[in-house]
Structure 1
Amino acid sequence: MPDHALVVGCDAYPNAPGADLRGAVADAVAVRDWLTGPGGVPAEHVTCLLSPSAAGLQPGDGVATGPATFAEFGYAIDRLLQLRAGPSDRLFVYFAGHGMRTDPVNPVVAHDALLLRDFDRRLPQLGCVGVQDLVSRLEQTGFGAVVVILDACRDFPFRWSVTLGGIGFNGPATSGPPARIFLLQATLPGRTAHAGDVGGVIRGDFTVAVLDALAGAGAAKRFDDTAARPYIVDWTGLTAYVEAAVPEQGPRPRGDGNLVLATFPDGAFDPVKLTVEVGPDAVRADPALRVRVSYDDPGRAEDVPLIGNGPAPVHLDVPPRRHRVVARLGEQWNRRAVDVYTDTTVTLSVDGPGPSTQRTYTPEVSRREVTGPEGLVTLVASDPLAPIELRTLSGRVVASGVGELPAEVPAGQYTAAALDHAAREHLEAVEVLPFVATDMAMRLPDPAYVAVEHARRHAGTDPRRAVVCIAGGSDPDLVLDAPPPWLTVPLAGHPVTVPLAPGVIAVLSLLDAPVSVTLYDIAALDDERALLALDRAQRLYAAGRRTPAARVFARAGVVAQPAPVFRAFGEALGGAAGEALGHGLAARVDPADRGFLLPAAPWAVFLDRPERGGG
């Protein structure tokens, strides 16, 4: 089945005087044009709901399939749920319009809502779609991957909180695995989305950045010399580009792995400027300095060199891709590989016979001779629990590890990727040479272990008891002797329902938005390595990074060795800890309850869930 899409743009809010927009329909039409053009989605498989305002773009005939009302939106979601999609099919969902959070007083327990044309300030819940309810339903569609992009504010426009309803019938749960969800929202909670004039039309800054990324702008793309269309835009590249393009809004992605979104032929992009700076000053000023930049060309048997002469800086126009840069003055020289997709400056220290240590940039790289023709590379992260991958330029993972990664690979160009505590990816170019061992030290942000510190207070707690901690709040910890499968904790006037079991500490953190939960075995509190690994794996899982999360679990012995310190953790999730990484409690939640799940929580945590009589 070909891909499908649902595109919504709402400028008109007749029941909310003064709330009309001017750019949402224009953004939605631009997204629709990309989907039905470069995106490859058949026009008949695109549902486009548009409600223009008098001051905004008026779409031409045949563009809209209906108005952007709550009813039409619900009908569209119902149709998607009835499609017989398969694991190779993709669904794109895009919304532009007003958005809000549901609780202005207690933002950590607020939900996100999208406002449709029939939104009414007097009865706001009637025209709202809850983002978590939407995502939960899209997981049940049967598509292999669902890309959800929301250009809407996440602020608090009302004095009092709002309780959201659901979208249509709950329906039965699907028999197969839930769809992989790739979610990108325009702002952080509490912030607003901005717009500006683009060619005489008001457009959202966020959506403009998304479409620029899909068009291959800057570092949104990567070059794969093994592909027929070697320029690739994937989910990682798109989200990193958008985060950098609108930093004041703070867009944050969540996605289960990676996904290719667009490809381009060689020659599709103009050259960019590479500036090579050299140190020390005596070398920099010497006109005898030579700079050689080379790159692989799929159409040629040998690499393509570009030569520049000193003094530095040396400027060269290069095609956007991976380049090798060599700076030489007599017997002194240095080299490094660098990804150049925008105008870039690289600095080399030419003060010895080759790159014993490249001290002038992060990460530090050192090389030493070895006897075999296979190249050796060792990647070491400053964070010992950071998942690390060594990838080919096509994105194929050839080796993986946690904290440190030694690998023996054929000589060539690779990319080192490390995930920090917030599940953000850090990429570095790696050139592996024959008869050379390359050691690279990657510096990552220092991790924060607020929830772990909260849990440690209960070291020595009776393992027959269950403990709930609330980090960042004034409520006292709850310690129970015989808990039910679910425990409801009053939090800022809201019932938050968490899984609970003897021997498990559940830490609810109010420092995040929305509230998040992490689970720890009481028996693991004295095991530093196990405790931090449990925390890190759950954070990666919450960000959609399931495979790296499983690697961290394995590193701590959770999967490979079901130690007693992890037994209660697995029992709390209804199975072995390794199985929980593949499914978790959320996958087994009744469809009627899915709309109450907190977004991005790794396990089944509910907000304002009606009493279900035993969970």
Structure 2
Amino acid sequence: MAKRAIVIGVERYPNRKNDDVPGAVADALGFYDWVTSDEGVPPESIALHLSPLSGRPDARPATAVQIERSIAELRRLGEGCTERLFVYYSGHGFASGTDMGDQPEPAIVCEDFESIEWTGRLALKFRQIREVLRGLGPGEQYFFLDCCRTIVTRERLSLGEVAINVRPAANGEPAQGTLWSTAPGRAAAAATAAGERSAFTEALLAGLRGEGRARAWRDESLIVEFHLLASHVNERLRSDGQEAYPETRGLLPPLRVLYPPEPLPTVPCEVTVEGASPDDAIELEVSGRADDEPKLCKLTGGRGTVELVVGFNRIKPRLHGCELKPPSVSKDFFTPDQARFRVVRRRGSAPWRDKLHEHAFERGLLTDAIEDAVHPVNVHLELPRSSATIRLRDQVGRERTPAIADHGGRRVALLLPGKYRLEIEEAGLLVHEQVFEVRPGASQRVTVVPPDPVDPTRRSLLARVREESGWISPSESLGPLADHHLPLWLSLLAVRAVYDVCEGLAGIPAPPVRGVPARQAALMILMTASSRPEVALFPLADGGASRRPVALEANGAVEGLWHGVVDTAPGGYLLGWAGGRAAIALYALPDRVTCFIGSAGLGAPRDPTLLSLPLPPWGGALPEYPPVFVRWLEHAQRAFFAGRAIEGPTFDRPDPFYDVIAAYAALRAGARLRAAEVLERLEAAFPDLPDVAALQVLVRDAPPRPAGVPMVMDGALALCPDAAMPGCPPRSVLAWGSAWTRWAAWP
């Protein structure tokens, strides 16, 4: 899919005397330079309209007819294949309305406009333009308008209509973001002279390039988002008494990803400690993003400069034997800045006080509470396993881990009275959090007690994991083993059955995967139920006419868990369970184990999870990523079901389920170019999948339709609305509570 743009700069109005807009052409050309160089829109995909033409051979007149012609051309060439659209306008503008409180109709004023009374048709309705371009279909559309929005009474003029059919696209709608240089009813501030840019355009271009508050951290990426861009422009305009006005429709993805791959941007911060002696050695603890370890910097003499990663940072100074105010500075650093501290008290009159402060300083306990004669308390932390990694934070979030000492495997912390949060990590994953309170007085003990799940299958599984690998407690957001979401636990059990990894589950019997002939396929079923589930396979090759029962065995180690493995010929199948009341589409690939994880009435997961694991040894070398990949795949299934964007690592080895889900999610979000990239990977690795054929139809409009049922729900709904495909059920029996193509009964 392509990127396209319309850039309009109307500086001269030949039919109006002394009514030019200084800097409008410079504004438009500045945006043109950004959209071609930074955004990568090819010049042939940009309609550039200027008045005057300024010697640009690629520029067109900015008349109403020419602008309307460019919009019609864009609609004709870009419908269904425009991933990202930019529209920029700089010139005169106004809004047609009344004083009765209705919503004014904003308009952009074309080059050949003369007066409100006689040529109002040469001022084009902006909302109508936006609706026409909405018909391009799924994607992202950004509109930036630097013009006035003053109200002209509707009785005085008749605005121009864009003579293009406002029809919606058949494959969906785009997300749109509009940023005006001023609020409704107000005038915009133009540049002071020709050739200069307006304050709005200067701020806009700086924000689009990732300066100031237009950028922010999201997980591991530094990005520019539309709402952050609007905040950045507003911050720059407020000094001139102006205010940008954003409008959005739909969910817009990040405008730009600055890091990675670009170098991590930093800004200098000048740190000053007033009252420090020339030979004072000051230590600065600098904390950036939450997932970064604090770094230590040294200052001598009370003055120096530190480089901070853009975004939120906390600077905490330390000077032995001294108290500094404020204790720390925490704020967003986007431009070169300053942080000032002062020495408010020097100690040294009493040796015991110096010793106490030295002890507290070394453990990060230097607070005003010490000066108030509140004594630290010895807290004995009783942990289920001495090798666990622990972190300790006080009630305001400051880390107090250095206050913990190890005495022969016993953990003892010297803590001031107050509330603390204890975090336990296993294998780098957060597995438990517990809040406790330290009371003044004698030493005390804190016993870490992991919560037990209510669900019997989870409780039984967790008990066996503790027996084999020690204490570990689940967390809802961090996995794999440390995740309360049952499908992840069972997915890793399936991985261990195939690859003999995941030692934490070694004591739990897994269905043996043995003796599968080469170029054949296997189906593994892990199901939770209070009694033996009834499960059957229906081959799609014969329309689901034949039924093959699958016998499941009780796991024995985990209550309510049933498992089984069957050999199958490669091809499409329906797996039915719950007495034939539920079914799901599967595709068995050669030399692979297709794993189904579901529930027949006992606890989660009611929404099934699917895995596809290569069979060793003829499936190639054992991939190094099974546990990590399982985590990403299970999270991707949850994200798809919730309608969220699917993000994650790109693995060298394509996966049929993960890549299919990612492609459908990209189509649903309007990112057809991203879907096409994923489709190329799938075509090379899994050409026989029904979802690959379905995606070819949806991405490229390539006939014929697939000869099977797509595994993902979006594919089935898009391609078989009325049971027009072989073996596909009508929509009326589809079960909507699933990311997979699932229905209430089969056959």
TM-score (norm 2): 0.43
**Partner amino acid for 1:271?**
V
Q: Cα offset for 1:187? A: 0.4
RMSD: 4.3
Whether contact under 8 Å (2:136, 2:174) holds in the other structure is: yes
Query: C-alpha distance in 2, partners of 1:368/1:16?
Result: 71
Query: C-alpha distance in 2, partners of 1:240/1:377?
Result: 36
Query: C-alpha distance in 2, partners of 1:157/1:96?
Result: 19
Residue of 368, 374, 377 corresponding to 1:351:
368
Aligned counterpart, 1:243: 234
Q: Cα offset for 1:201? A: 2.4
- Change in 2 beyond 3 A, CA 1:276/1:356: farther
1:43 aligns with 2:22: no
Query: C-alpha distance in 1, partners of 2:333/2:419?
Result: 23
Residue of 328, 331, 336 corresponding to 2:318:
328
Q: Cα offset for 1:37? A: 0.9
Q: Cα offset for 1:5? A: 0.4
Query: C-alpha distance in 1, partners of 2:319/2:89?
Result: 56
Aligned counterpart, 2:120: 125
Q: Cα offset for 1:235? A: 1.4
1:151 aligns with 2:135: no
Q: Cα offset for 1:225? A: 8.3
Aligned counterpart, 2:268: 272
Structure possessing the higher relative contact order (Cα contacts under 8 Å, 6 or more residues apart): 1
Q: Cα offset for 1:133? A: 1.1
Residue of 205, 215, 220 corresponding to 2:214:
220
- What is the 5 A alignment of 1:33-182? 33-52=33-52, 59-64=54-59, 66-86=60-80, 89-103=83-97, 105-106=99-100, 108-121=102-115, 122-156=117-151, 161-182=156-177
- Change in 2 beyond 3 A, CA 1:241/1:377: farther
Aligned counterpart, 1:592: none
Whether contact under 8 Å (1:104, 1:161) holds in the other structure is: no
Whether contact under 8 Å (1:221, 1:233) holds in the other structure is: yes
Whether contact under 8 Å (2:23, 2:198) holds in the other structure is: yes
**Partner amino acid for 1:242?**
V
Aligned counterpart, 1:10: 10
- Change in 2 beyond 3 A, CA 1:309/1:70: same
Aligned counterpart, 2:684: none
Query: C-alpha distance in 2, partners of 1:234/1:377?
Result: 33
Query: C-alpha distance in 2, partners of 1:241/1:339?
Result: 13
Q: Cα offset for 1:97? A: 0.5
Query: C-alpha distance in 1, partners of 2:301/2:419?
Result: 26
- Change in 2 beyond 3 A, CA 1:9/1:286: same
- Change in 2 beyond 3 A, CA 1:220/1:191: same
- What is the 5 A alignment of 1:204-603? 204-222=198-216, 226=220, 231-247=222-238, 248-255=241-248, 256-264=250-258, 266-267=262-263, 271-273=267-269, 275=271, 290-293=283-286, 305-308=296-299, 315-329=305-319, 338-344=331-337, 350-352=367-369, 356=394, 358=396, 368-373=420-425, 374=430
1:184 aligns with 2:179: yes
Task: Map Cα deviations across residues 379-432 of structure 1 (whole Å, 9 max, x no partner).
Answer: xxxxxxxxxxxxxxxxxxxxxxxxxxx98659xxxxxxxxxxxxxxxxxxxxxx
Aligned counterpart, 1:574: none
Aligned counterpart, 2:583: none
Task: Map Cα deviations across residues 102-137 of structure 1 (whole Å, 9 max, x no partner).
Answer: 136446432111100121213242111112112222
Query: C-alpha distance in 2, partners of 1:270/1:234?
Result: 19
Whether contact under 8 Å (1:90, 1:143) holds in the other structure is: no
Aligned counterpart, 2:673: none
Determine helix, strand or coil for the equivalent of 2:233. Answer: helix
Query: C-alpha distance in 1, partners of 2:217/2:185?
Result: 37
Whether contact under 8 Å (1:151, 1:207) holds in the other structure is: yes
Whether contact under 8 Å (1:225, 1:296) holds in the other structure is: no
Aligned counterpart, 2:649: none
- Change in 2 beyond 3 A, CA 1:286/1:151: same
Q: Cα offset for 1:154? A: 0.6
- Change in 2 beyond 3 A, CA 1:327/1:303: closer
Whose helix proportion is higher, 1 or 2?
2
Q: Cα offset for 1:71? A: 0.8
Query: C-alpha distance in 2, partners of 1:236/1:159?
Result: 32
**Partner amino acid for 1:351?**
D
Whether contact under 8 Å (2:286, 2:313) holds in the other structure is: yes
**Partner amino acid for 2:148?**
C
In structure 1, runs of 5+ residues without a counterpart are 53-57, 361-365, 379-405, 411-545, 549-615
Determine helix, strand or coil for the equivalent of 2:13. Answer: coil
Task: Map Cα deviations across residues 425-455 of structure 1 (whole Å, 9 max, x no partner).
Answer: xxxxxxxxxxxxxxxxxxxxxxxxxxxxxxx
Task: Map Cα deviations across residues 155-202 of structure 1 (whole Å, 9 max, x no partner).
Answer: 13679543424201325432232211111111001211113358x822
Larger-Rg structure: 2
**Identity percentage of aligned residues:** 25
- Change in 2 beyond 3 A, CA 1:206/1:14: same
**Partner amino acid for 2:146?**
D
Task: Map Cα deviations across residues 51-89 of structure 1 (whole Å, 9 max, x no partner).
Answer: 12xxxxx6333231x111111111111122223544770
TM-score (norm 1): 0.51
- Change in 2 beyond 3 A, CA 1:293/1:308: farther
Task: Map Cα deviations across residues 537-589 of structure 1 (whole Å, 9 max, x no partner).
Answer: xxxxxxxxx999xxxxxxxxxxxxxxxxxxxxxxxxxxxxxxxxxxxxxxxxx
Larger mean CA deviation between 104-113 and 2-11 belongs to 104-113
- Change in 2 beyond 3 A, CA 1:295/1:407: same
Query: C-alpha distance in 2, partners of 1:284/1:148?
Result: 55
Whether contact under 8 Å (2:182, 2:244) holds in the other structure is: yes
**Partner amino acid for 1:273?**
C
Task: Map Cα deviations across residues 205-259 of structure 1 (whole Å, 9 max, x no partner).
Answer: 11111011112222222357845xxx43221321111111112222111223333
Query: C-alpha distance in 2, partners of 1:226/1:129?
Result: 43
Query: C-alpha distance in 1, partners of 2:232/2:419?
Result: 32
Task: Map Cα deviations across residues 488-537 of structure 1 (whole Å, 9 max, x no partner).
Answer: xxxxxxxxxxxxxxxxxxxxxxxxxxxxxxxxxxxxxxxxxxxxxxxxxx
